[in-house]
Amino acid sequence: MVIKASFHRYFLNFKIPGGTSRGVLKQKETFFLMLESDGKSGIGECGLFRGLSYDDREGYEAKLKWLCNNISLEKDLLLQELREFPSIQFGLEQALLSLYSRSGYDLFPSGFTQGKDSIPINGLIWMGSEEFMKDQIEKKLQEGFTTIKMKIGAIDFDTELSLLKNIRSRFNASELELRVDANGAFNPNEAMRKLEALSQLDIHSIEQPIKAGQTETMYNLCRSTPLPIALDEELIGIVNIEDKKKLLDEISPQFIILKPSLVGGFQGSRDWIRLAKKKGIGWWITSALESNIGLNAIAQFTYTLDNNLPQGLGTGGLFTNNISCPLFVDKGALHYSKDRKWQEVEQFLN
């Protein structure tokens, strides 16, 4: 079978700028890998995340061109060659599944894609002014979310603590699960004090309290923490299975969070999950600001993993120029409607 491949660069525009401890996001660059063969087409999203992705480096587009020129090679050989480019690995996995699927988007047929079941997700609260964050919290509560994840670390910690206290005064832990994501913002010298303060509010977990790469300090935090710690950025750039095992052995976190675009797609995520299960480490899946093409792939994959924890898949509605699709959020869960159609790719990209 002869396959033709090409790629397309695209910028997703935020409806409202998204605040994180690394700055305010107004646009998200991404790349689409397009395949054609025997009158069929496939599409995958290479969700490069500038400033965060391991493969945010010179030569990214050159590697995409190499892939397009060598698409006839065996899949395993391609993935091996792309091991330093996790987001391109993920785009290739998606595009091949898309090419050989019945509809182009039904990558993992299941009760989810049939509209019979949904995936519980967390409602994401972006950083910003106190009033802005309050407004987001109220909206998520009104929308029926029972798990809220709040990004912290950009404004005064006492203000963030006050916002969380206000939520907890209205809903106990059995009514509303609270997660926080520090994106590595805490100074190691003050991290334990802040963890102790947060633990008084029945917080489910905190993502990446200190910057990645401080293995001994993170191990000590995970060993003594009063609330569960989830590794996120810590996993980025760990591409060899031996190094993945070593990281989990050295830090022993309570959870790991997997962003397929950042950890090598389906295969990379499965590797982490297998290793985590052996050590009794919990996990969940999170999208990394992909368009609905990438989000669709992540959601369908996530459903097959049979993880009952709320997942981080609520980012599809953040952009003004996303592709229209069957995915929608209702009452704190991600659904797939058989009655909603995919927008034509040509129309979307143009």
Burial 165-196 (b: 16+ CB within 10 A, else e): eebbeeeeeeebbbbbbbbbbbeeeebbebbe
| 211 is annotated as an active-site residue | no
Closest CA to 14 of 4, 3, 29, 1: 29
Whole-angstrom CA distances from 343 to 153, 215, 295, 298, 301 are 38, 45, 15, 19, 21
User: ∠ at Cα 267 (182, 292), nearest 5°?
Assistant: 65
| 279 is annotated as an active-site residue | no
In angstroms, the first-to-last Cα distance of the chain is 29
Which of 140, 149, 151, 244 is labelled catalytic?
151
Whole-angstrom CA distances from 24 to 42, 148, 149, 154, 249 are 33, 20, 17, 10, 34
Judge contact between 95 and 35, C-beta under 8 A. yes
3-state secondary structure (DSSP) of residue 235? helix
List residues bridging with 311 in a β-sheet: 121
Residues noted as catalytic: 151, 259
